[in-house]
Amino acid sequence: MQIPMLLQHCLLLSSLLFSLQQLPTYAAPKHYIVYLGSHHAEPRLLASPETITKSHHDLISSVLRSDSESSSERIIYSYNRYIMALLQHYTKKEANELSKHPSVVSIFESRILESTTTRSADFLGLHYPPSNLEDSIWHKANLGDDIILANIDSGVWPEIQSFSDDENYGPIPKKFKGACENKYDPTFKCNRKLIGARYFYKAMEKNSNLQENCTFNQKLSPRDDTDGHGTHTLSTAGGSIVPFASWGGLANGTAIGMAPKARLVAYKTNWNVQCPTFKTIGSNEIDVMAAFEAAIDDGVDVINYSQASNNSAYLDDGTGIATFHAMKNGILTIAGAGNSGPNAGTAANNYPWVLSVGASTIDRVFSAHVLLGNNQKIKGTRFYDFVSKVDVPSELYPLITGADARISGANVSDASLCQGGSIDVTKVTGKILVCRNAGRIVAKDETLASVVARDAGAVGMIFVYEEKIGDGFTLSQFHAVNTIVLSYKDGETLFSYINSTRTPTASISGVTNTLGVKPSPIMGSFSSRGPNQNNPGILKPDVTAPGVDILAACPPEIFQSSYCMKTGTSMATPHVAGIAALIKKVHPDWSTAAIKSAIMTTASPLDNDGMPIRDSNKTSDATPFAYGSGHVKPNMAMDPGLVYDMNQYDYLNFICAYPPESTTLKEFSQQHSYKCPRSFNILDFNYPSISIVNFTGNAIVTRKLKNVGPPGTYVPRIEPPPGVSIMVEPKTLVFSQKDQIIVFKLILTADINHLSTDYIFGSLVWSDAKHVVRSPIIVKAKNK
């Protein structure tokens, strides 16, 4: 059966989730996303959602012709407004058969996705109440009043004061069409601040049922009862003003989101899955796409997405498809670059229509000291215990490493990391347990080791990160005992002392809180780095923002406090989402690309000492592969002067250039079809940063700048990459009116035989003496 031509154009990023009752013993069950098409541009030709859903059922029935189940039993989600319908499949043969249908654009297996304050606002130049009103984005944006900020994450804990509507909020914006889904949790209440909350679980539930002996046994509610991730990120982006917030006395001050008067909506996609040997927290890609579909239909303005993508081909990636449709509907998605650093090529969410964010420090440091028995003092990072209430081990206690406390028969590596079942309780009781990671940066290692230490009767724990992680900043986590975290170099000092004596002892000092620390920011060692593995012609991440030791709201039932500290690009991302919401309030007519450009071109590559941002080792300079265009500057971003603007067709041209994408991209177009141009040069793609790979010694880059400020004359300042000469045409840009667009070219030349084969960096700045419009330049010579 052929689906009517009209419906082919009306099907949203359609995908269908189905299952077969008769499962061959050789076939492993899998979920697939089947991507069909997009709405027609003209409303009068748009089919009803019910009609579109029926066409999805007809498609499954006609192609697979299975009598074992009805199509309604096979379909988990049938999205029929903007994005998709989703399907579960069991064999490659059936997937291949479905992929041949003329209405199917692509079919790909769904995946599980992982999640990636009192001081950070001040550090970003946002002071409450605003002191200089003309230069304050908080003043100009009225703190983001009535902008609808969405968060796709683990839900929210609504009773926390950050989500209170006590601050005289007006009626809920009329454009909002969402809901507060509390059928199974009547204690969950929305208000005029937290105006909506929904949950998406079906694919995660079915996926857990496909795993042997795994269970999905959770209350169906948008309440954040997994790990507090969504509560933390949502309050960072748009939490209300809460004085006297702290985490057990740490970071005492006023907790305030980046857009504190924004209206908030939580979409829960992260769930716990319990298995006999492990527990996992994550999202199924199918549920995530469902949440994006709902957010678009609900009428949100900005989406925060603090989860990692899979960096697949653009039409084989559910997150890429969903975020594209959000952009097409005027919604900018801000996403985390991931926590897989500092290795190169690890950056996630590399779609050019998404603003991706790395993580760096603020000018506040929490520290404590380990005093060794030989009077040596080692500085580290420290967090108090809120569960066992054990006093700080300020007296000298015996030290023992996990390896030395190994239970008979346990793996040495497991014992070194202090993993469960590897430690002999009789050897640890009354001592400080020393654990070291195995050359990986897994934040939960700290938490799990602290639980083992507590259960073994330890009075405290010292957790050491190995050299592979670098000597930068570790991921702050909740600890079950008093814990101090040491970097590799300091850990070597500790182990040297332990090995020098038969009776090593130590004490742990109380924590100190230092503000105004210089240099700041410094890149987090965990923050994922470029180059972009999807397309090195696009620099990723785009910017960096505060993501280390961020205080924000947390579920009190999990953290014994309504506020806690977390670290990761997940924490950096909502800072930028809140800034984007503020810009949207000041400039409601700006495109998503214009907002993104404003944030990127006003970001700074310098720290608070006026020197280049340092990498996590604190000695070498970071590169744009760590910080993108630089550290965000919200007050400057509201008045960038010029922007690199784009629309969906510019992004379509970009996609067209990269096989195996279709040459006719009707699935991404509001038209009946979109014909790719005969030629497309990535060097002409109007991205705010400039990347040239496979450089042969000559290249011409074309860009267009749009004036969003007063008339003015902009002159260039170029810092070329080493060994490269750059000329700009024209020499000046003279804008006589607002919204005027001027094209310029960069002409790059070099002696390729004497050029480094590694990536080299420079920059271009356009300035009218008030505005600074900066673009990093990245060049990689073609292999000789």
Each residue of 707-766: pLDDT tens digit?
A: 999 999 999 999 999 999 999 999 999 999 999 999 999 999 999 999 999 999 999 999
Q: For residues 452 and 457, what is the distance between their CA atoms, to the nearest angstrom? A: 9
**pLDDT confidence of 3, banded at 50, 70, 90?**
very low
- The pLDDT confidence band at residue 380, using thresholds 50, 70 and 90, is confident
What is the mean pLDDT of the segment spanning 580-586?
98
Span 626-655, average pLDDT: 96
pLDDT tens track for 659-696: 655 555 655 554 446 778 888 899 999 999 999 999 99
pLDDT at position 110 is 66
Q: Is 254 helix (H, G, I), strand (E, B) or coil?
A: strand
Name the one residue in this structure whose structure tokens are 């957010």.
Answer: 295
pLDDT tens track for 179-222:
999 999 999 999 999 999 999 998 888 876 666 677 777 889 99
Q: What pLDDT, on the 0 to 100 scale, is given for residue 681? A: 92
The answer to whether residue 6 scores a pLDDT higher than 50 is no
Query: What pLDDT does residue 695 have?
Result: 97
> What number of helices (H) and strands (E) belong to the chain?
20, 35
Per-residue confidence (pLDDT) for residue 521, from 0 to 100: 97
Residues with a known catalytic role = 153, 229, 570
What is d(CA 582, CA 574) in angstroms, rounded to the nearest whole number? 12
For range 445-474, the mean pLDDT: 77
What confidence score (pLDDT) does residue 17 get?
32
Rounded to the nearest 5°, which phi and psi values hold at 316?
A: -120, 30
Global pTM reads: 0.84
Please, which residues have CB within 8 angstroms of residue 128's CB and are 6 or more apart in sequence? 121, 138, 241, 254, 256, 260
Collapsing DSSP to helix, strand or coil, 494 comes out as: helix
Closest CA to 643 of 714, 726, 543, 540: 714
Residue 668, CB half-sphere, CA atoms under 13 Å: how many?
A: 28
Structure tokens at 242: 């809460």
- Asked whether residue 388 carries a pLDDT value surpassing 50, the answer given is no
Query: Does residue 242 register a pLDDT over 70?
Result: yes
Measured in residues, the chain has a length of: 784
Query: Which residues, in sequence order, are CB contacts of 562 under 8 Å at separation 6+?
Result: 160, 161, 245, 553, 554, 556
pLDDT of residue 91 exceeding 60, the answer is: no
Q: Does the pLDDT at position 43 exceed 80?
A: no
| pLDDT confidence of residue 541 | 98
Mean of the per-residue pLDDT values for the chain? 84
Q: Which whole number is the average pLDDT over 553-575?
A: 91
